[in-house]
Amino acid sequence: MKKLADVLKDWEAVIGLEVHTELTTLQTKMFCNCRLSHDDPPNTNVCPVCLGMPGALPVPNRKAIQSIVMAGLATNCEIQKHSMFYRKHYFYPDMSKNFQTTQGPVAFCMHGHLNLEVSGAGAAERPSWENLASDGKTPIRRRSADSSYVAPIRILRIHMEEDAAKMVHVGGEEGRITEATESLIDYNRCGTPLIELVTEPDLRTPEEARLFMEKLRQTFLTLGISDCSMESGSMRCDGNISLRRRGETRLGTKTELKNINSFKSLHDGLEYEILRQAEVLEEGGVVYQETRHWEPSRRHTVVMRVKETADDYRLFPDPDLAPFDLSDEFIEECRQRIPELPDAKRDRYVEKFGLKRDDASQIAGDPVWAEFFERAVQVGGEKAAAQLGKVLCNDLAGWLRAHSASLADEPVSPEQVAGLAALLACDQIPSSKAGEVLDLMAKSGKAAEVVVDEQGMRQVSDATALEPIVDEVLACCPDQVAQYKGGSKKVLGYLVGQCMKASKGKGNPKLFNQLLRARLH
């Protein structure tokens, strides 16, 4: 197969996403008062309504409506005051009533957009001459010369619906119902409030799709409407993708990509589909409209089912649920509940605290990180904020990854990290020791200063104390000195290393570097 960048020179990939998000932060289900928790023993959070017992009736969860309106406002959607629930019929035991309550042509939220900032290697995948968004009107803004850009991605709608039950098929290899000898159903999940966001087909590269999902996740996390876990399935995404020749305006036949449970899967699955479709088309073949399953372990997609005809869901307005007539007050109340969103937060961190834009984005994108950061700034002071941002994004992020830890559990406190940042800022410890300090702080709960002093980790930044060491090292390494003078500047690193060794790791490497240079000239 060809490389993605090469394929995208000849072919335009047209990608749209359907994103399902469970409103996991709510206490109760969409249409009944059952507790919203998937962790309890199977079929314990159930009642006549979510089990679809005869005679039971749905009553909409007001807080769920509030959540979707907030999601709509945060993604620049028009909030529809008048909308209805519809019934979507299909016979399958995961939906206890054999219809799903969802929305019809008019959803609570219509016609929004998110501005996507694309930079780095991913930005190069979108050809540089492409300067209009896919509505053909909106110019794509360029921020800098490194080919990074801002593209508006339109959102068609966000509608409210209920989730289905969880089914486990026992027996048979693939875990599919056809081979199963037994199927188990857990209705705890049935009736979970779910919002489905559908984008316009505005995405053009796997990187854009990945970034869109990331941005959406950040937005929903900040709103506090879901835990947005792709791993556990509280945020799920299907990708629709088709190819067309550059310059062609008609859409090609699309395939639908399923089983995407991480941002990486989304990116890699779409990349594979682009390459696969390009190969099929270039060989004169035909892309079939079908649903394909991404298999991350084998890094390819396989056909789940071919769609020959559109499914007939017999959609019609749910007569058990009166049409909605949202008041201005209700919508305004939702607007008031929206906290500072990631983009605004990022800009504030850059402008007010002087954070690097990337660091600011990373911290502002996750409400747990943002809160941690702001608490640490309160301790360490605004002047130390930029250094703090660096520590969070480099040292702390790396340390958490290495320990498979989550900042939400606060293995270290904002006060401890602020202390660490302060020590790093004035060269009291080498940056290479940051991980070790985090380890010790997490274990002992002690402040950074205390840990560093206990371990004797403070580095020496006093030139008079380091000069004798430099002299000693230069005396021991006549060959390297000769090489340096002969033009091999690389050898300086070796000499710094020798100084560090001689100082038992306590000397300031930057200072050693300066002193060596001065002595050798």
Partner 1 sequence: MATNLDQLSAADIAAGVHAGKFSATDVAVAALDAIKAREPKVQAFLEVVESLALDAAGKTDARRSHGEELGPLAGVPIAVKDNMHLIGTHTTCASHMLEGYKSVFTATCVQRLLDAGATPIGKTNMDEFAFGSSTETSYFHPTANPWDTARVPGGSSGGSAAAVAAGEVPLALGSDTGGSIRQPASFCGVVGLKPTYGAVSRYGVVAFGSSLDQVGPFGRSVADVALAMNALASPGRDPYDSTSQDCPVDFLEHLEDPIAGKKVGIVPELLEVEGLTPECRLAIDEARAALEKQGAEIVEVDLPNISSAVAAYYVIGPCEAFSNLARFDGVRYGYQEKGCATLAEQTSKSRAHGFGAEAKRRQMLGAYLLSSGVYDKYYYPAQQVRTLITRDYKHAYEKCDVILLPASPRTAFKFGEISDPTQMYASDMFTISNNIVGNGGISVPVGLGKDSNLPVSVQLQGPAFKDRVLLQFARAVERGCGRPGTVAPGFSGKGGDLS
Q: What is the DSSP letter of 201?
A: S
Residue 162 vs 318, nearer CB to partner 1: 318
Measured from the CB atom, the residue of 307 and 517 that comes closer to partner 1 is 307
Listing DSSP states for 274-337 in one string gives HHHHHHHHHTT-----EEEEEETTTTEEEEEEE-SS------EE-TTSPPEE--HHHHHHHHHT
Quick one: 98 or 378, whose CB is closer to partner 1? Answer: 98
**One of 6, 9, 10, 48 touching partner 1 (CB under 8 A):** 48
Rounded Cα distance, 89 and 311, in Å: 10
Strand 193-199 with 11-22, pairing: antiparallel
Report the nearest approach of partner 1 to the CB of residue 161 (Å): 16
CA angle 175, 258, 343 (to 5 degrees): 135
| Of the candidate residues 171, 316, 445, 493, the single one contacting partner 1 (CB under 8 A) | 316
Least Cβ distance, residue 313 to partner 1 (angstroms): 9
Is residue 403 within the footprint of partner 1 (CB under 8 A)? no
Report the C-alpha gap between 498 and 484 in whole angstroms. 15
At its nearest, how many Å lie between partner 1 and the CB of residue 53? 6
Three-class DSSP category at 271: helix
DSSP 8-class letter at 226 = -
Scanning residues 168 to 197, which ones bind partner 1 (CB under 8 A)?
177, 183, 185
Q: Quick check: 156 and 110 in contact, CB under 8 A?
A: yes
Question: Which range touches partner 1 (CB under 8 A), out of 151-159, 261-269, 318-326, 345-353?
Answer: 318-326
Which range of residues in 45-53, 413-421, 425-433, 474-482 is near partner 1 by CB under 8 A?
45-53
State the DSSP H helix or E strand holding residue 198, giving kind and residue range, or none if neither: strand 193-199
Candidates 423, 472, 474; CA nearest to 447 is 423
Q: Out of 264, 314, 335, 403, which residue is the one contacting partner 1 (CB under 8 A)?
A: 314
User: Per CB under 8 A, which of residues 99..138 are in contact with partner 1?
Assistant: 99
Other CB atoms within 10 Å distance of the CB of residue 152 = 17
- The number of helix segments (H) and strand segments (E) in the chain equals 17, 17
Which 284-313 positions form the footprint of partner 1 (CB under 8 A)? Answer: 310, 312
User: Is 325 near partner 1 (CB under 8 A)?
Assistant: no
Nearer to partner 1, 283 or 312 (CB): 312
62 binds partner 1 (CB under 8 A): no
The tokens for 325 are 């007539």
The count of chain residues that interact with partner 1, using the rule CB under 8 A, is 32
Phi-psi region of 71 (alpha: psi -120 to 50; beta: other; left: phi over 0): alpha
Could you say whether residue 84 binds partner 1 (CB under 8 A)? no
Binding residue for partner 1 (CB under 8 A) from 20, 56, 290, 425? Answer: 56
Q: Which two tokens stand for residue 71?
A: 């999601």
- Distance (Å) of CA 265 to CA 98, 259, 476: 31, 8, 54
Is 325 or 409 the residue whose CB approaches partner 1 more closely? 325
Nearer to partner 1, 99 or 272 (CB): 99
Nearest approach, Cβ of residue 183 and partner 1 (Å): 7
Q: Does the footprint of partner 1 cover residue 41 (CB under 8 A)?
A: no
Taking the complex as a whole, the smallest distance from the CB of residue 325 to partner 1 amounts, in Å, to 13
Residues in the site for partner 1, rule: CB under 8 A? 48, 51-60, 87, 89, 91, 93, 96-99, 177, 183, 185, 310, 312, 314-316, 318-322
